[in-house]
């Protein structure tokens, strides 16, 4: 049995390696209109000599607002410049914070809130 495992690679599946580039965008339409985009470097980037360029129209899933994006990368897939119309690049941490705030349950009204309405 050990011979067969060695011959066919141990019988287990190899670990999946995600080589995607993840970028996070915030729409100018609303502060909570954020989008996470995965770029496949093998298929989505255009080679421009010493670097790469990515063109995309991004539509956020909350308000369906559009962001026209042109992102330039160096040879190591680091963002070197961006030209965005309708939005901005944000960090992964900022994206996670906005999503956490957006998905937070509404706080119950207090007695002070109810007396102010009366």
d(CA 29, CA 105): 23
| pLDDT one digit per residue (tens) for the chain, 118 residues | 565 555 566 556 667 788 899 999 999 988 889 999 999 999 999 998 889 999 999 998 888 999 999 999 999 999 999 999 999 999 999 999 999 998 888 777 776 655 556 5
Domain containing 57 equals: 18-102
* 22 falls within a domain: yes
The confidence score (pLDDT) of residue 111 equals 67
- Tally of domains within the chain: 1
* 73 falls within a domain: yes
Residue 115 has which token pair?
A: 């007396």
* 114 falls within a domain: no
Residue 105 has which token pair?
A: 């349950």
The confidence score (pLDDT) of residue 106 equals 75
* 34 falls within a domain: yes
* 28 falls within a domain: yes
Burial (CB < 10 A; 0-12, 13-18, 19+), residue 56, is middle
* 112 falls within a domain: no
Backbone angles phi, psi at 50, to 5 degrees: -85, 0
The confidence score (pLDDT) of residue 116 equals 59
d(CA 54, CA 47): 9
pTM attached to this predicted model: 0.73
- CB distance 74 to 54 below 8 Å: no
């Amino acid at each position: 049995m050990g011979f067969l495992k060695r011959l066919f690679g141990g019988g287990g599946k190899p670990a999946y390696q995600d080589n995607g580039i993840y970028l996070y965008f915030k729409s100018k339409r609303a502060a909570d209109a954020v989008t996470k985009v995965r770029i496949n470097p093998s298929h989505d980037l255009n080679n421009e000599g010493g670097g790469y360029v990515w063109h995309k129209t991004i539509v956020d899933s909350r308000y369906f607002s559009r962001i026209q994006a042109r992102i330039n990368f160096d040879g190591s897939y680091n963002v070197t410049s961006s030209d965005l119309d309708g939005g901005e690049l944000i960090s992964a941490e900022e994206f996670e914070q906005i999503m956490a705030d957006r998905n937070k349950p509404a706080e119950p009204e207090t007695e002070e809130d109810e007396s102010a309405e009366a």
